[in-house]
Chains A and B, each alone.
Chain A
Amino acid sequence: MSETTTSDVIVIGGGLFGAFTGLFLARAGLKVTLLERGQVGAQASATNFGNLRLHGRSARQYPLSIRAQELWESYVRLTGETCDIDRTGHLYFARTDRGEAQLRKEVETAGRFGIDSQLMEGARLYDRFPFLAPGIRLAAFSPRSAVANPRLSTPPVARALLRYGGTVVEGCEVARFEHGSRGFAVTTADGRHFAAAKLVNAAGAWAGALAAQAGETVPMFSAGPPQFVTEPLPYRLHPSLHMVEGDVIVRQIPRGNVIFSGYPRTRSLVSGEFTYVPPEKTLRGMRALAESVPMLTRAEIIRVWSGVEGYLPDMLPVIGPSATLPGLFHAFGGSGGGFQIAPALGESLAALVRGEASPVDLKGYGIDRFGKSAEVSDKIRMEFDQPA
């Protein structure tokens, strides 16, 4: 029988959700052990597009999103490091009637939460963003929206957790956990033992299996968007650009590479370990990008990638206590918007774990919301491959 490592809280999953939750718990003085099956921040936290957007979110998510932006804006103070956070602003544009209607609605929603978002069209739009292709009906500029480098974003949070006395164990896959009178006993695939009074399930696309061990089934599935990056080019494309119709999401980083993402997303392999980028989606994205930003016509793409991201039918994450086991908490299923909300999610969940009120209302994020009449977001129809 090997030794058991005991702490106040075990966090399963070293993505941004787990790392931020762990950091806020450790800052409050709790002894935190973070268990990561692979390497910290290497899955969806690293492979996502890296937008910190305050636009186009569901009304339910704005409180969390606004708090998260404040925390991203103080990322250097929180972690002592940078991850290329750049307040580029985001420009959303519409080319169709449907897109135009959606854009107006999104601007209205953002406005309700006090988020500045300026509608632009015609000469005003093209004077400011001359690289846009002709034919754009309406656009909205969200000046506080930003970008960050997702590949670099998680390790600094984990290192800050270490400085607050936490422990990070990589290459440590959890096989099972048991709940008893003294809390949770966690056994890893390689036979290590960990114990804690509280347990946080932040295992990303792999969190569903852990939730099932608590008797909680969630309709989560794994998918990822087709993404690509070009060779470095002169830095001209300043705001992050979003075509509301979803064909083009693009940004350029100061070192010159242009990064693209688009819909529809592709389902991950059945193994849940990989998402292919079908070449026809790459070609479609390349055409759509050249049509939206003609100056990129001759740009060369050098790499494609996707990721294994967890999605839920209402396109919102699960954040909050288990409905079956006291002391167990869930944070997973970012549903394409998880990167931005991660720091506020960590802060709020840490408060719940400590038995305090969450600084942001987490109503609507519960794991028990997936009953028969569960809501299915329009985005499921519009942003994913549809079954044939």
Chain B
Amino acid sequence: MGGEPIVAIVGAGPAGLAATRVLVQAGLRPIVLEEATLPGGQGTRRLSPLSEPYRAALYGQGADAMARREDTENAILAKCDYRPGTLVWACHDNQLELLGPDGFVGQPYTHLVIAVGATDRIMPVPGWTLPGVFTLGGSQVAVKRHASFIGRKVVFAGSSPLLYLAAAQYLRLGHRDLTVLDTTPMAAKLRAFPAMLRHAPRTAMEGLALMAELRRGGVAMLSGGTIRAIEGDGRVERLRYVTRKGRETVVAADAVAMGHGLRAETQLAELAGAEFRFDPDFRQWFARTDAMGRAGETLWLAGDSARIGGAQAADAAGSLAAQSLLASLGRQIPARLLRRGRRRLKAQLDFQRAMTGAFRWPAETVAELPDATPICRCERVTAGEIRATLAAPVGPVEINRVKSITRCGMGRCQGRFCGPALAEIVASAAGETPGRLRAQAPVRPIPLVADTEGAEQRA
């Protein structure tokens, strides 16, 4: 490859920012593409001006450190070709396709780092499409972007460390009617805890501190059991669940935030040529990379979009990916630095792997979902329709063909939210490993004609 390298980083969350930092320190000026208008990512999402007044309440003693970190990130981004509000909707033949303030633009690259994060993984339950049901991430966006709660009586339900984090944020901002319903039994958490403590003692202790904070704050916390349904007349009014001991219980609620761990955003990596493997602990498909995050000749992946690891792992992975990229450009990277980075990343990833036992993806519950339960909300496809299609003579057995026939996963979200549940339904019928929906551009819906009014005004 001749000429100057063109390094593009997609995503300005913890992984993308770490990669950017390393590259800037090495004297490069990468292109940093961020879909949102602010950098920071999802879990470490920055506060909008509307939410800024609540900074001290939300972050407590960590508020100053948070502000310093944001200043450092801004300083780094100032030394890059930083383009916020820019969606990367496709990648083909060493060129990214952008939709941003200047409309549709093609951006060639010689080196690409993809760090686009993850979203909540959702296991549908009857009623999950009612107004008032959010993802856990959505409940945090409400606070950090819109300075509002998702409801007056809020249940955080599912199985995810984010249940506790999101509830704590609500508590700190003065919300006093909160319930955390974690479907993984306490016994499973206790079994997983020693390994979690061994791999990342600080993160593990932070988790315990969160739970203690919620207990002190009077937040109702339930663990074990199965969510039966979210019910209400036109919107959420209650959540019905069965305890571990089989007791039917009803919790009144006007909003529910759901999540069962995280789901890596993999479409762009696939379009860029990554290959995938199924991870049985996480029960999802991750891209194949080497220990530094390299996934191809010109491709590096870092952070939750490569494998679920959280913000600290993302920071470590972003640095490593950038160092590997620099090495491919012939730069010398001190072996000590690489060893330390890899150790740091491995500890966090091992921690997350241990945590899959403490916060279980309830794969087995798809078998009990009533036929009328919507699986694909975009296309309104129910569990029953998918099962009937699978049971038909010469019915499909492969997830992409099931999608093709049922439309499940064919709508606006392109299976990003219904995909994991669809995979489990197909796997339970075929008795095989859950399959993977193939990605196609665009990564997000794009208009036929781009709105470039902004660009004209600036001109």
Q: What residues make up the interface of A, taking CB atoms closer than 8 Å to B?
A: 38-40, 42, 46, 151-152, 155, 158-159, 162, 168, 170-171, 230-231, 276-280, 282-283, 286-287, 289-290, 296-305
Residue with the greatest number of chain B CB neighbours at <10 A, chosen from A42, A170, A280, A302:
A302
Give the residues from 389 to 446 in chain B that come closer than 8 angstroms, CB to CB, to chain A.
Answer: 392-398, 401, 404-405, 410-412, 414, 440-442, 445-446
Residues of B within 8 A of A303 (CB): 410, 414, 440-442
CA distance A290 to B104 in the complex (A): 15
Partner of A162, one of B95, B394, B401: B394
Residues of B within 8 A of A278 (CB): 92-93
24 pairs, CB–CB < 8 Å, chain A vs chain B: A39-B396, A42-B396, A46-B404, A151-B404, A151-B405, A155-B394, A158-B393, A159-B393, A168-B394, A171-B397, A277-B440, A278-B93, A279-B89, A279-B441, A282-B441, A290-B449, A296-B448, A297-B447, A298-B449, A299-B448, A300-B447, A302-B412, A302-B414, A305-B440
B392 touches A42 (CB 8 A): no
CA distance A63 to B448 in the complex (A): 39
Q: Which chain A residue lies CB-closest to B409?
A: A303
B90 touches A282 (CB 8 A): yes
Taking the closest CB of chain B, its distance from the CB of A167, in whole angstroms, is 11
Partner of B446, one of A151, A297, A301: A301
Interface residues on B, range: 20 to 34
Taking the closest CB of chain B, its distance from the CB of A301, in whole angstroms, is 6
A304 touches B448 (CB 8 A): no
Question: B97 an interface residue at 8 Å Cβ cutoff?
Answer: yes
Question: B106 an interface residue at 8 Å Cβ cutoff?
Answer: yes
CA distance A159 to B389 in the complex (A): 13
Residues of B within 8 A of A170 (CB): 394, 397
Give the residues from 186 to 206 in chain B that come closer than 8 angstroms, CB to CB, to chain A.
Answer: none
CA distance A42 to B395 in the complex (A): 11
Residues of B within 8 A of A300 (CB): 412, 445-448
Partner of A159, one of B89, B394, B410: B394
A287 touches B449 (CB 8 A): yes
CA distance A309 to B315 in the complex (A): 45
CA distance A38 to B412 in the complex (A): 28
Taking the closest CB of chain B, its distance from the CB of A149, in whole angstroms, is 10
Q: Which chain B residue lies CB-closest to A42?
A: B401
Minimum-distance CB pairs A-B, first 8: A300-B445, A279-B90, A290-B448, A286-B448, A279-B97, A158-B394, A151-B404, A297-B449
Partner of A42, one of B404, B414, B445: B404
11 additional A-B pairs beyond A279-B106, A282-B442, A289-B448, beta carbons within 8 Å, are: A39-B398, A155-B392, A162-B394, A231-B445, A279-B92, A286-B446, A290-B448, A299-B447, A300-B412, A301-B448, A303-B414
With contacts A46-B404, A155-B405, A279-B97 known, is A297 near B448, CB below 8 A? yes
Taking the closest CB of chain A, its distance from the CB of B386, in whole angstroms, is 15
Q: Which chain B residue lies CB-closest to A297?
A: B449
CA distance A171 to B430 in the complex (A): 13
Give the residues from 358 to 414 in chain B that come closer than 8 angstroms, CB to CB, to chain A.
Answer: 392-398, 401, 404-405, 410-412, 414
B445 touches A302 (CB 8 A): yes
With contacts A231-B412, A304-B442 known, is A286 near B449, CB below 8 A? yes
Residues of A within 8 A of B90 (CB): 279, 282
CA distance A170 to B395 in the complex (A): 10
CA distance A170 to B447 in the complex (A): 39
CA distance A283 to B103 in the complex (A): 11
CA distance A282 to B90 in the complex (A): 10
Q: Which chain B residue lies CB-closest to A168?
A: B394
CA distance A230 to B410 in the complex (A): 11
Q: Which chain B residue lies CB-closest to A281?
A: B92
CA distance A296 to B449 in the complex (A): 9
B202-237: contact bitstring with A at CB < 8 Å (1 yes, 0 no)?
000000000000000000000000000000000000
Taking the closest CB of chain B, its distance from the CB of A257, in whole angstroms, is 9
Partner of B441, one of A158, A171, A277, A287: A277
Residue with the greatest number of chain B CB neighbours at <10 A, chosen from A39, A46, A230, A290:
A39
Residues of B within 8 A of A151 (CB): 404-405
Q: Which chain B residue lies CB-closest to A257?
A: B410
Taking the closest CB of chain B, its distance from the CB of A48, in whole angstroms, is 13
Residues of A within 8 A of B93 (CB): 278
Residues of B within 8 A of A287 (CB): 448-449
A276 touches B92 (CB 8 A): yes
Taking the closest CB of chain A, its distance from the CB of B20, in whole angstroms, is 25
Q: Which chain A residue lies CB-closest to B90?
A: A279
With contacts A286-B449, A297-B448, A301-B446 known, is A39 near B401, CB below 8 A? yes
Taking the closest CB of chain A, its distance from the CB of B86, in whole angstroms, is 15
CA distance A298 to B451 in the complex (A): 9
CA distance A230 to B445 in the complex (A): 8
Taking the closest CB of chain B, its distance from the CB of A85, in whole angstroms, is 16
B448 touches A40 (CB 8 A): no
CA distance A283 to B441 in the complex (A): 11
CA distance A151 to B406 in the complex (A): 10
CA distance A280 to B394 in the complex (A): 37
Residues of B within 8 A of A296 (CB): 448
Q: Which chain A residue lies CB-closest to B95?
A: A279
A302 touches B394 (CB 8 A): no
Residues of A within 8 A of B411 (CB): 231, 302
CA distance A155 to B104 in the complex (A): 39
Taking the closest CB of chain B, its distance from the CB of A135, in whole angstroms, is 17
Give the residues from 330 to 368 in chain B that come closer than 8 angstroms, CB to CB, to chain A.
Answer: none
CA distance A280 to B410 in the complex (A): 22
